[in-house]
DNA sequence: TATTCTTTGTTACCAATTTCACTTGACATT
DNA sequence: AATGTCAAGTGAAATTGGTAACAAAGAATA
């Protein structure tokens, strides 16, 4: 029995929907561990602090996975979302910059758990080049372009100082990489066909700070009757 | 001369607006370094890949900071946003969990640069308790509640395993903390009056993965004529 | 000082997203 | 088999967020 392929997506799916898919995926993984067979949009919504309608809408963009009157089959829905998000395979990831953040990310289990395998490390520091981090030898950043190509890297995680981030990302783009996750607090320019996401860890603290200072109204709590 | 206080905010300001304020703040800091006196919404928009209209609208929620025909005074606008975001002061932050991520965050300069001073560390590992990280002695997590109170901590950064995160956050809430930044991939429950933000580092990789697999349309590039 | 030019602040409009409410289908029970 | 219940799926309504256009304010210029 093969899992039916999700219909190819015509509409542009919103970023928020994709992020929520990640949430559903995590919730479903947990539900599976807890031996649930099925789950309703209501329960899923409750667990992720959303509304049942939103859960159903989000999922309906990709197909009809549920059974009316019963709910969604946990195991199957998880597999579906896994396939939609591309988590049913592994990704070859290179990490550039073995500083504080970089080192932490090498050891960050969540990444490999989701199939993001860091298989390559780069730094410009002679003391770090050649050293071993979790079984990976740190490469010289001067060989970035060729090594990214040779090792068939598909994604790059950038954890370098903001001041040099643009130069490095230019190299990364030249190597044909189409997906970059940037931790440097910098606004990087990439061509249209390269996906760039920024992880700005200060931003959320700044949001908290704003919320406290301005006594900002919390998101209304939805009752799931 | 005193900086005029931003009018108290009636409307709920959207999360996106706040995040963009962070971007403006960063851009303005840079512009100040580059000795710009003023900046137009057009230039600011270009630097952050937004539209001039959006920049003006965002800022107009908080007051009229610009001069028609001239633009915004860089130094002053930066100070204004700083005050809006609560970055014109320092925050006493405790970091819980001195693992990979936790250790990296202690040394993460961006935080202190924005006034988020990590002044307290907690862990449950006997080998770590009492040790010194960047001048801070790691405390025993068993004393969490009292020490958070005694040291007048205002924000907590949580970098503990997902499995124990809820227990710890319950303690944190009991200590009267109203702002929490959570790095654990878990859905934490907190009372309505506690601000909780989640930093989910896998999510952005998952978005990239989705984008590649589905050849997802990029956000249209806006021309700033 | 008058005129032109630039750029803000704001309102009106449009698009995207979320919520609502209803319809439909599956299962369970009698 | 008929009936009742539950929950998914869905189109329409409401809300929210973003864009565009323009009037007003000030700066630059002559």
Q: Convert the pLDDT of each residue in B162-191 to its tens digit.
A: 999 999 999 999 999 999 999 999 999 999
Which of the pair, A217 or B51, is modelled with greater confidence? B51
pLDDT for the residue B217: 80
Phi and psi at residue B50, to the nearest 5°? -130, -175
Superfamily of domain A91-204, CATH level 4: NAD(P)-binding Rossmann-like Domain (3.40.50.720)
Identify the weakest region by mean pLDDT among A211-220, B29-38, B158-167. Answer: A211-220
- Three-state DSSP class for B118? strand
In this structure, chain A runs to a length of: 225
Give the CA A160 to C1' C10 distance in Å.
41
Identical fold at A15-85 and A91-204?
no
Instruction: Kindly state the tokens that stand for A188.
Output: 């990087």
Of B12, B108, B209, the CB nearest to A91: B209
Residues with CB under 7 A from strand C: A 12, 14-17, 50-51, 53-54, 56-57, 67-70, 222; B 39-42, 52-53, 56-57, 59-60, 64-72
Q: Is the pLDDT of residue A195 over 70?
A: yes
Q: Which residue has the tokens 């560390």?
A: B121
* Cα gap B41→B96, rounded to integer Å: 40
Mean pLDDT of B183-205: 96
Mean pLDDT of A198-204: 96
Residue spans of the domains in chain B: they are: 15-85, 91-204
* Cα gap B169→B189, rounded to integer Å: 8
List, as ranges, residues 85-104 from A with C-beta within 8 Å of B.
85-87, 91, 93, 100-101, 103-104
**Is residue B148 a contact partner of residue B122, using CB atoms and an 8 Å limit?**
no
List, as ranges, residues 192-211 from A with C-beta within 8 Å of B.
192-193, 195, 197-211
At the top level of CATH, the class of A15-85 is mainly alpha
Q: What is the pLDDT of residues A2-61, one digit of tens each?
A: 333 344 445 789 999 999 999 999 999 999 999 999 999 999 999 999 999 999 999 999
* Cα gap A127→B178, rounded to integer Å: 43
Q: Smallest CA–CA separation between B91 and chain A, in Å? A: 8
Contact status of B216 with chain A (Cβ, < 8 Å) = yes
pLDDT band at A215 (very low <50, low <70, confident <90, very high): confident
Contact status of A19 with chain B (Cβ, < 8 Å) = yes
Give me the torsion for CA of B172, B174, B176, B182, rounded to 10°. Answer: 20
Strand C nucleotides within 7 Å of a protein CB: 5-11, 16-21, 24-27
Instruction: Kindly state the tokens that stand for A98.
Output: 């073995």
Long-range contacts of B133-137 (CB under 8 A, 24+ apart): B133/B98, B133/B103, B133/B106, B134/B106, B134/B107, B136/B106
Q: Is the pLDDT of residue B225 over 90?
A: no
pLDDT for the residue B89: 97
């Amino acid at each position: 029995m093969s899992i039916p392929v999700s219909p190819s997506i015509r509409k542009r799916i919103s970023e928020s929907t994709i992020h929520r898919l990640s949430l559903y995926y995590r919730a479903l993984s947990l539900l599976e561990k807890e031996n649930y067979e099925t789950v309703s949009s209501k329960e899923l919504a409750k667990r992720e602090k959303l509304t049942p309608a939103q859960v159903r809408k989000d999922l309906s963009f990709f197909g009809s996975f549920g059974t009316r009157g019963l709910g969604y089959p946990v195991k199957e829905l998880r597999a579906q979302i896994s396939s939609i998000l591309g988590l049913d395979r592994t990704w070859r990831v290179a990490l550039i910059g073995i500083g504080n953040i970089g080192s932490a990310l090498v050891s960050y289990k969540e990444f490999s758990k989701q199939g993001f395998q860091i298989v390559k490390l780069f730094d410009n520091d002679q003391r770090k080049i050649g050293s071993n981090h979790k079984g990976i030898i740190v490469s010289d950043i001067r060989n970035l372009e060729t090594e990214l190509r040779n090792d068939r890297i598909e994604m790059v995680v950038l954890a370098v100082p903001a001041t040099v981030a643009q130069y490095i990302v230019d190299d990364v783009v030249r190597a044909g990489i189409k997906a970059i996750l940037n931790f440097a607090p910098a606004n990087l320019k990439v061509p249209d066909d390269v996906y760039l996401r920024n992880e700005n860890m200060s931003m959320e603290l700044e949001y908290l700070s704003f919320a406290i200072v301005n006594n900002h109204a919390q998101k209304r709590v939805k009752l799931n009757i």
